[in-house]
Structure 1
Amino acid sequence: MASIIEMPELVLDKIIEFSDLKAVLTLRQVCRDFRNFIDDLKDSKLPDSKFKQIEIISDKDEKKITFDFVGPDDSFYHFEYSETNNSRSFNGKITNMANLNIVDVAIQDLELILKFQKSNLQRLYFHLDDFQLQTESSIHTLPIKLSNMFNAFGRKIKTRELSIKTYHQSQVTPFLPIADLEALKIIDLYSLEDDMEIEIDEIVKIEQWKKAKEMNCDFHVVNLKVEDICHFSRYRVQSNTISARDLDFLKKAITSSLKFEYSWLAVNIFNVNEEIFNLWGPAYLSGSSSLWYFRIKDSEENILVIDIQQVYNHIYFDVIETRNVPNRAIVHDYNEN
């Protein structure tokens, strides 16, 4: 009797086409011939995994790597790679990797699974807890090997949101460029330690930064230039300080745009009240807030409100409707100068 692998290639193509990801991965483990046939297939002939979220996590304390893939129906694929046991676990099934490098195994698995992702992700999340790992562990090589894999992958990852949680900015710049420019809308940069600082001189040069619509950063940005964030329709950022000139620049940029929605700035030091009053005139006071209202260009209904809460050193920019402006507040006309 002929082996199934001896079937015409067209028949095998159809079997793969009408299978889901789990079935293809299972088939790939049947024998070497199936594995080679599947690995040699063009991406276009593979089924769409339709994942909506992928999480890539390294854990320096446990010395392990985990990949979590969430499907549209909340189906869940969990891969775990343990350096301690030199093993791979897939949805609870454990395989010993003998003398193989566990990071290399993880990278190969990820590259294979990404070939099945045709539709857009809602979120791609990196949690890189390995920057301070001692070099005797191979897991500290994960970021650079991931970056190399994505660069060689041949296509960008179509994800609406790209989130990176790490100890250091050196693990941010390699991963922003992997996102497809058309699909990417949101960039999240999260710190694994409180009060950690980041310099964004190089980050702001990356096209994905320039094209994204929303940005959230809980690192303390030490060299913030407001010119590098004013294109976002929504942003959240922390900085050591901000000048009256920078605040006025943001006010002018926002009132000239119909795309802006909301922003939050937190600063460690804020002592520019007198300069702000000279630029914008008296504020409308409400509790701990000093509020200013400005008309937006070419809009009859929308008003920019700037809320400075000096008690907390928080500054909010928001767009409200004219009817929500307090009766005694002054609404400044649009001024492009």
Structure 2
Amino acid sequence: MIITEMPEPVLDKIIEFSDFKAVLTLRQVCRDFLNFIDDLNDSKLPDSKLLTFGIRSDYTENNVIVCFMGPDDSFYRFVYSEVEKSRSFNGKTTNLKDEDIVDVAIRDLERILKFQKSTFQWSCFNIHQLFRRPKFPNLEVKLSNMFRKLNRKIKTEILDIMAYSQVGFMSILPFVDPETLKRLRLFSMNKTVRIEMNEIAETEQWKNAKSIYCYFYALKVTVDDICHFSNVFIKMLYISARVLDFLRETITSCSNIDFSRFKFEIPNENEEMSNLWGHAFITAYLGFTNYSWYFRMKNSKEKILLAEIRPTRTKTNICFENIESREVPNGAIVHDFKGNTILLW
């Protein structure tokens, strides 16, 4: 009896006692093994235990690239070439003939994700394409369709997405498990682009994450949308003194906020900010004047909120940072959580 003629329960046992690499090798033995493995229920497949994965479209080389890293630092890299109509993996190149390279890449990605039962440490979707002439215009749609077919959320602690619009981010974000997501980082090739965030901010993934980093100008995002984060970096076209004061009051008054650091970047300094909370502690750095204010956190004698405005030639950084009382410099004024002056340090 040849192996492919064995009863299914026996073949199931073979798969059960095989690891991820062994099963991938079995898929390449013959067409019968490939079909048998691809038709298996996900629960019967071994956990690949991959640590990271990423997919990106390289419009300069006309490639789609899919990468994985295993628990033993093993690295898997698939390159799908539009020019050569091929797939390259571990030195082996397969001619794809008339097949769409995006279809092949996503089909391979789906097969590998079926093995993943543990949580990725990091996942990356670099699906940014030139807005006026996208090379792979259906990549976002086909990724979304694949995730729907997979019918389970991607478990990852860190998620990076590079896209050119809210639609691009939303083609990925809803398919990530909000229970495992800790850090969300959103990128665009053009750092000056303006992207609306209202739909993104309504997702469970946004609401459950602990950190958010937004490397473009975010529109339609409110203070309420970011108050739950521990760490924030977000670029905004404008932020008013009233909004900053509301954020300061929210952070210092709510003892249940797990706060570490908020940083905003705006194009120009707002005049009203310099005297926002009265006399600032002023320092100079690289020829620029920094304005700092200090506030006690409610129900804490040791925790201090540092609010700092740091102008540069091209932008103004506004930071809120959680520090210890011993870090307050001599001569600085410390306010209570309501904004009243309590002592000179």
Q: TM-score, normalised by structure 2?
A: 0.91
Which whole-Å CA distance do the structure 2 matches of 1:85 and 1:21 have between them? 29
Which whole-Å CA distance do the structure 1 matches of 2:269 and 2:219 have between them? 15
Q: Which residue of 2 aligns with 1:285?
A: 282
Q: Which residue of 1 aligns with 2:67?
A: 68
Residue 79 of structure 1 aligns with an amino acid whose one-letter code is F
Q: Which residue of 2 aligns with 1:321?
A: 324
Q: Which residue of 1 aligns with 2:12?
A: 13
Residue 292 of structure 2 aligns with an amino acid whose one-letter code is L
Residue 252 of structure 1 aligns with an amino acid whose one-letter code is E
Does the CA contact (< 8 Å) of 1:215 and 1:232 recur in 2?
Answer: yes
Measured after TM superposition, the shift of residue 336 of structure 1 is: 9.2
* C-alpha spacing 1:207/1:111, structure 2 compared with 1 (3 Å): same
Superposed, 1:79-228 pairs within 5 Å as 79-132=78-131, 134=133, 139-228=136-225
Measured after TM superposition, the shift of residue 204 of structure 1 is: 1.0
State the identity as a percent: 51
Q: Which residue of 2 aligns with 1:300?
A: 301
Measured after TM superposition, the shift of residue 130 of structure 1 is: 2.7
Measured after TM superposition, the shift of residue 167 of structure 1 is: 2.7
What CA deviation, in whole Å up to 9, does each residue of 1:218-265 have, x standing for no partner? 111233422211211101011111101110111012112440001111
- Partner of 1:140, secondary structure, is coil
Does the CA contact (< 8 Å) of 2:114 and 2:150 recur in 1?
Answer: no
Does the CA contact (< 8 Å) of 2:178 and 2:208 recur in 1?
Answer: yes
2:337 pairs, out of 316, 334, 337, with 334
- Partner of 2:251, secondary structure, is helix
Does the CA contact (< 8 Å) of 2:274 and 2:291 recur in 1?
Answer: no
What CA deviation, in whole Å up to 9, does each residue of 1:247-289 have, x standing for no partner? 011101211244000111111132243x663x52211112221
Measured after TM superposition, the shift of residue 82 of structure 1 is: 0.9
Does the CA contact (< 8 Å) of 2:42 and 2:114 recur in 1?
Answer: yes
Which whole-Å CA distance do the structure 1 matches of 2:283 and 2:30 have between them? 71
Q: Which residue of 2 aligns with 1:231?
A: 228
Does the CA contact (< 8 Å) of 1:244 and 1:272 recur in 2?
Answer: no
Which whole-Å CA distance do the structure 1 matches of 2:142 and 2:309 have between them? 44
Q: Which residue of 1 aligns with 2:238?
A: 241
Q: TM-score, normalised by structure 1?
A: 0.93
Which whole-Å CA distance do the structure 2 matches of 1:133 and 1:29 have between them? 40
Which whole-Å CA distance do the structure 1 matches of 2:44 and 2:64 have between them? 29
Which whole-Å CA distance do the structure 2 matches of 1:27 and 1:35 have between them? 7
Q: What 5-or-longer segments of structure 2 have no aligned partner?
A: 341-345
Measured after TM superposition, the shift of residue 133 of structure 1 is: 6.7
Which whole-Å CA distance do the structure 2 matches of 1:265 and 1:94 have between them? 47
Over the aligned positions, Cα root-mean-square deviation in angstroms equals 1.8
Q: Which residue of 2 aligns with 1:56?
A: 55
What CA deviation, in whole Å up to 9, does each residue of 1:96-155 have, x standing for no partner? 1122222111111111100111110011101113343747x5x22111100111122110
Superposed, 1:2-41 pairs within 5 Å as 2-41=1-40
- Partner of 2:308, secondary structure, is strand
Q: What 5-or-longer segments of structure 1 have no aligned partner?
A: none
Q: Which residue of 2 aligns with 1:77?
A: 76
Structure 1 stretch displaced more, 309-318 or 70-79: 309-318
Residue 112 of structure 1 aligns with an amino acid whose one-letter code is R
Q: Which residue of 2 aligns with 1:309?
A: 310
Does the CA contact (< 8 Å) of 1:163 and 1:190 recur in 2?
Answer: yes
- Partner of 1:172, secondary structure, is helix
What CA deviation, in whole Å up to 9, does each residue of 1:60-93 have, x standing for no partner? 1211101000112210111111111111111221
- Partner of 2:323, secondary structure, is strand
Which whole-Å CA distance do the structure 2 matches of 1:99 and 1:222 have between them? 42
Structure 1 stretch displaced more, 308-317 or 141-150: 308-317
- Partner of 2:319, secondary structure, is strand
Which whole-Å CA distance do the structure 1 matches of 2:130 and 2:147 have between them? 19
> Which contiguous aligned blocks of 4+ residues in structure 1 show a shift greater than 4 angstroms?
none
Does the CA contact (< 8 Å) of 2:66 and 2:78 recur in 1?
Answer: yes
Which whole-Å CA distance do the structure 2 matches of 1:99 and 1:313 have between them? 52
